[in-house]
Amino acid sequence: MLRYKNYIFDLYGTLIDIWTDEDKKQLWENLALFYSHYGVDYKPPELKRAYRRMVKEEENLMKRDGIIDYPEINLETVFLRLLKEAPKGHPTARLVKDEKEWVAAVANIFRIESYKKIKVYKNAEKVLKTLKERKCGVYLLSNAQRVFTVPELERLGLARYFDKIYISSDMGIKKPDPKFMQSLLSAEGLNKDKCIMVGNDMDSDIAMAKKLQMPAVLINTFHYSKVELWKKDNQYPVINDLKELLE
């Protein structure tokens, strides 16, 4: 495979193998219990419905002006709204003094309770380390929530390999919107022809690269068949192991 000066990686499904389930009964039970410690009363199903309604409201708000085709909300706003807009409550001496720290705690509970699996893909760390040793630029461009992703990168030992981390919840846009990639290229002063996008999703990672006419490679963790790739008119190289980037 051709070598590039800069490697821009997707995260989930590319470097991290993750499976979450946000419908788990225990998630909403424990989250409702946490909120109750701060004076608001939700039954778990009520909390789940309120969460999903607020997510949709935030998404619609971002879509309203028509400027952003693929908006990404910040879930921290939703977690805080659930506290402040709760329909029922009870007296409590436990007040939220630092909203940012409080929201991070709620987000940690939400994310941890949703896990079914999270691990680094085989050879992912080796590839990142080798690229850094080769003096390549290594960047992350992820459709994700910073409040979830940064702790996961740190805990799994991957954060140290990136020159810069770009997360959609910070930018308000997500892949396949080419403006997300363009923001990285512009901020870092990179020539797209000397960069390669490495991702696992034909409809976000690869579609974005195609719109920008920039190099890309598909890591096939979604197990697209040859027929599926043909139907999606894939023109990019396909690999089954990240170590193929080094060959």
Q: What is the pLDDT of residue 67?
A: 75
Q: Which amino acid is at 107?
A: A
Mean pLDDT of the region 219-223:
96
Which residue in 143, 186, 148 sits closest to 167, CA to CA? Answer: 143
| C-beta of residue 168 within 8 angstroms of C-beta of residue 174 | yes
What average pLDDT is seen over the chain?
Answer: 96
Residue 106 in this model has a pLDDT that exceeds 90: yes
Of the pLDDT bands very low, low, confident and very high (cuts 50, 70, 90), residue 93 is low
> From residue 133, how far is each of 11, 136, 216, 247 by CA, in Å?
20, 8, 21, 15
Model confidence at 69, in pLDDT bands (50, 70, 90)? confident
Q: Residue written as tokens 């690999």?
A: 239
pLDDT digits (tens, 9 = 90+) for 115-156: 999 999 999 999 999 999 999 999 999 999 999 999 999 999
At 62, which helix (H) or strand (E)? helix 44-63
Q: Assign 68 a pLDDT band (cuts: 50, 70, 90).
A: confident
Cβ contacts of 53-57, under 8 Å, gap ≥ 24: 54/78, 54/81, 54/82, 54/85
Contacts of residue 129, Cβ cutoff 8 Å, sequence gap at least 6: 161
Q: Is 78 helix (H, G, I), strand (E, B) or coil?
A: helix
Domains of the chain by residue range: 6-17+119-246, 20-116
What confidence tens digit (pLDDT) does each residue in 25-41 have? 999 999 999 999 999 99
pLDDT exceeds cutoff 90 at 97:
no
Question: Quick one: pLDDT at residue 44?
Answer: 98
Which superfamily, per CATH, for 6-17+119-246? HAD superfamily/HAD-like (3.40.50.1000)
Residue 121: what residue type? Y
Pairing state between β 164-167 and 137-142: parallel
Contact 178, 198 (CB under 8 A): no
221: left (phi over 0), alpha (psi -120 to 50) or beta: alpha
**For position 177, what pLDDT does the model report?**
97
- What is the average pLDDT across 88-104? 87
Rounded-to-integer distance, Cα 11 and Cα 56, Å: 24
Integer Cα distance of 127 and 227 in angstroms: 29
